[in-house]
Amino acid sequence: MYNIISLMIISVIIFLVYLALQNDKYEKFIFSIIIGGALGNFYDRVIFAAVPDFIDLHYSNFHWFTFNVADIFITFGIILFILKGFFLKK
């Protein structure tokens, strides 16, 4: 199962690279951010057999999600992609 999921992940990354090559400069940048985060998580998955989460935020009784830098890049890229859809229409 682990190998099947890993193959699916690398397939999605390859598809994202294809999409990046087919789009304009803004989307190339956005897809590059997402691909960079995905490659970071994939590297951790292959080398460490897990994706370690290392930023853990607490405030009083509130516990925020645990995430890593690669997740930040993926999230930021998706937010930019959504904003581009709202504000930069063709």
Q: Where are the domains of the chain?
A: 2-87
Q: Which of 32-41, 42-51, 54-63 has the lowest mean pLDDT?
A: 54-63
Q: What is the pTM of this model?
A: 0.79
Q: Is the pLDDT of residue 90 over 70?
A: no
Residues 12 and 38: beta-carbon distance below 8 Å: yes
Kindly list the catalytic residues: 53, 71
Q: What is the number of other CB atoms lying within 10 angstroms of the CB of residue 37? A: 21
The more confident residue out of 53 and 21 is: 21
Q: Is the pLDDT of residue 64 over 80?
A: no
Residues 84 and 25: beta-carbon distance below 8 Å: no
Q: Is the pLDDT of residue 33 over 70?
A: yes
> Which residue type sits at 78?
I
Residues 34 and 73: beta-carbon distance below 8 Å: yes
Q: Is the pLDDT of residue 13 over 90?
A: yes
Supply the pLDDT for residue 35.
96
